[in-house]
Amino acid sequence: MDISALQVFLAVAEAGSFTRAAERIYLTQPAISKRIAALESEIGTRLFDRIGRGIHLTPAGEALLSRARTVLQELEDVKRGITNLSGTITGELHVATSHHIGLHRLPGPLKRFHDTYPQVRLNLQFMDSEKACQAIAKGDIELAVVTLPTITSAPLKTETIWDDPLDIVVSPGHPLAQERRVKLEILLDYPAILPGPGTYTREIILNAFGSLRDRIQIGMATNYLEVLKMLAAIGLGWSALPRTMIDEGLKVVQIEKGVIRRELGIVTHEKRTLSNAGAALIRIIRDTRK
């Protein structure tokens, strides 16, 4: 079976469109259609149903999808393993990170990596930590530097690099700004501004409230911590932010018996062979703990 045809098939299946797949892998739409037709002819069945302007995987296409992804991932793994034997650090490295970590934790390591290994093409993608972990699990990205999930399950492999305590913060004019120490349940009387539903950071914050979590008044939500900081600073509610972000525009509310912290670090696929470039970047990031 033609490997390039499998790559085209996977691109079309993931893009849900011949046109978008053509843009993604830099082929013309006729070339995409020709390779899909050849693959369908070789297998002896249709892989896509063309309904109006949309396309949908047939049962045969669904069956091929997971196998095609596995075959291509294993082929890439073989290529990396062979390349690694030479000891050279070259090629393209796909890395995902969250906006907060990319802005506040990675500039130094990335500069050092680029200065040390200028021949590596670094493809840095900013995305939510949860989506980055999904991309790692699918094999789309080699490594991610993100907020770590509280529970790690296969095929993800995690390594903590930074401990990241979160403080409850309010604007200087907020009623809680003058309190020296408050009980956690007092926060339930005021609106909260938190990361979006389903994010690791939101779950960490909610879990700190235990049985009270469902009583929190969540007025607004955004996945950008810089926006949370701005909204809290102008008095729209309390929030929980990394201690490294807090400045004179915010007041920290000390909570009795309350500690909220998350862990930031590296996520890889447990069965994927790291490229030499990926291993080098991880070594540089680990050095930040010293």
Angle (deg, nearest 10), helices 18-25 and 29-43: 110
Question: Could you tell me if 156 and 168 lie in one domain?
Answer: no
Question: Could you tell me if 43 and 122 lie in one domain?
Answer: no
Whether the full predicted model's pTM is greater than 0.95, yes or no, is: no
* Residue 48 confidence (pLDDT): 92
The three state secondary structure string of the chain is: CCHHHHHHHHHHHHHCCHHHHHHHHCCCHHHHHHHHHHHHHHHCCCCEEEECCEEEECHHHHHHHHHHHHHHHHHHHHHHHHHHHCCCCCEEEEEEECHHHHHHCCHHHHHHHHHHCCCEEEEEEECCHHHHHHHHHHCCCCEEEEECCCCCCCCEEEEEEEEEEEEEEECCCCHHHHCCCECHHHHHHCEEEECCCCCHHHHHHHHHCHHHHHHCEEEEECCCHHHHHHHHHCCCCEEEEEHHHCCCCCEEECECCCCEEEEEEEEEECCCCCCHHHHHHHHHHHHHHC
Specify the CATH number for the domain of residue 169.
3.40.190.10
Question: Could you tell me if 130 and 189 lie in one domain?
Answer: no
Question: Could you tell me if 237 and 272 lie in one domain?
Answer: no
Question: Could you tell me if 168 and 254 lie in one domain?
Answer: yes
Question: Could you tell me if 173 and 158 lie in one domain?
Answer: no
Question: Could you tell me if 254 and 271 lie in one domain?
Answer: no
Picking from 83, 113, 145, the residue at the C-terminal end of a domain is 83
Cβ 206 vs Cβ 216: under 8 Å? yes
Specify the CATH number for the domain of residue 22.
1.10.10.10
Question: Could you tell me if 141 and 175 lie in one domain?
Answer: no
* Residue 290 confidence (pLDDT): 67
List per-block mean pLDDT (blocks of 10 residues) for the chain, which spans 290 residues: 86 89 88 91 90 84 88 80 75 93 95 95 94 92 95 93 96 92 93 94 94 92 93 96 94 87 96 91 91
* Residue 79 confidence (pLDDT): 77
21: containing domain: 3-83
* Residue 166 confidence (pLDDT): 95
For the chain, the domain total comes to: 3
Question: Could you tell me if 101 and 172 lie in one domain?
Answer: no
Say which amino acid occupies 160: T
Question: Could you tell me if 73 and 130 lie in one domain?
Answer: no
Instruction: Select from 111, 109, 112, 116 the least CA-distant residue to 90.
Output: 116
Question: Could you tell me if 132 and 53 lie in one domain?
Answer: no
Question: Could you tell me if 204 and 175 lie in one domain?
Answer: yes
* Residue 91 confidence (pLDDT): 85
Picking from 61, 83, 105, the residue at the C-terminal end of a domain is 83
